[in-house]
Amino acid sequence: MFSLRAKKALVTGAGSGIGAAIAKTFSRAGAHVIVADLNESGGRHTVSEIVSVGGTAEFVTLDVTSETACQTLGREILAKHGPLDVLVNNAGIGAVGTLLTTSGSEFDRMLQVNVRGIFNVTRAFLPAMIERGAGSVINMASAAGLEGLKDRLAYATSKHAVVGLTRSAALDHAKSGVRINCLCPGRIETPFVTSRLAEYPDREAAYLEMCSTQANGRMGRPDEVAALALYLASDESSFVTGAALAIDGGMTAGSGRF
């Protein structure tokens, strides 16, 4: 198992799903985890799960769309813990719609959370990491950031932007000692996906259809994404920066079904 012993990690959107899995995986690897989320009950639940098995964690409320809130938290964490070792920009939202069925406000909200949120949080924590000369930033993109996705125009647009932000920032700071990468999951069985299934008249058929878009015939699990995040957070990935790593059961490998 890759080690994060004595490291400090902040994970946004860690109150559920992939973010919670990353926070718990990092804790098991030895990190002190700062769980950041707008959902206080979900975030505190993640912290309690970590603490219950002997890990150390704390909860902070964070609206990633607020530049002021992000800068304030950055100063508070720096004063309390020093520079972060790992920053995971996981907070994000999804939406269904085409160019014609997506409203302007829905489109703007998607970019505000999924793209500007990463911009805001990273700007708050990156300077201290650069000054120390070490760190790993992991952004949550999507397989929808690597190719188009039917009926998900705003979401796919935002995730393409995350890939571009990641690659450009990695190049800008490649010699600083800070590595910046992103993960591109396919369909992962998270609470968001589960809630979407409830909208279909035939839940089982919808589930099987979602599974079929992966070449291996199933959706991924949050802990599988967390395992790849752990690799990027660890020192073993020291030569990896600017990467957009697909973890999608073969979805983007050429099936053409995504």
The confidence score (pLDDT) of residue 227 equals 98
pLDDT mean across residues, the chain: 94
User: Would you say residue 256 has pLDDT above 60?
Assistant: no
User: Would you say residue 45 has pLDDT above 60?
Assistant: yes
One-letter amino acid of 202? D
The confidence score (pLDDT) of residue 229 equals 98
Q: Which CATH code for domain 8-189+223-247?
A: 3.40.50.720
C-alpha torsion angle, residues 174, 178, 179, 181 (rounded to 10): -110
Name 12's bridge partners.
36
Q: How confident is the model at residue 4 (pLDDT cuts 50, 70, 90)?
A: very high
pTM to 2 decimals? 0.94
What length is written for the chain? 258
- Whether 231 sits among the annotated catalytic residues: the reply is no
Judge contact between 54 and 80, C-beta under 8 A. Answer: no
CA atoms within 13 A on the CB side of 49: 19
User: Would you say residue 54 has pLDDT above 80?
Assistant: yes
Report pLDDT digits (tens) over 96-139. Answer: 999 999 999 999 999 999 999 999 999 999 999 999 999 999 99
Proportion of the chain in helix, strand, coil states, percent, rounded to 5: 50, 15, 35
Q: Give dist(CA 193, CA 26) in Å, integer.
A: 24
One-letter amino acid of 57? A
The phi-psi region of residue 132 (left if phi > 0; otherwise alpha if psi is between -120 and 50; otherwise beta) is alpha
The confidence score (pLDDT) of residue 109 equals 98
Q: Give dist(CA 148, CA 157) in Å, integer.
A: 8
The confidence score (pLDDT) of residue 173 equals 98
Q: Give dist(CA 52, CA 40) in Å, integer.
A: 18
One-letter amino acid of 46? T
Q: How confident is the model at residue 258 (pLDDT cuts 50, 70, 90)?
A: very low
Which of 155, 200, 207, 231 is catalytic? The answer is 155
The confidence score (pLDDT) of residue 180 equals 99
Full strand arrangement of the beta sheet holding 56-61: 56-61, 32-37, 8-12, 86-89, 135-140, 178-185, 244-247
Average pLDDT over residues 54-73: 98
The confidence score (pLDDT) of residue 18 equals 97
DSSP single-letter state for residue 102? S
Q: Give dist(CA 200, CA 154) in Å, integer.
A: 21
One-letter amino acid of 242? G
Report pLDDT digits (tens) over 198-254. Answer: 778 877 877 888 777 778 888 889 999 999 999 999 999 999 999 999 999 988 887
For the chain, which residues make up each domain, given as ranges?
A: 8-189+223-247
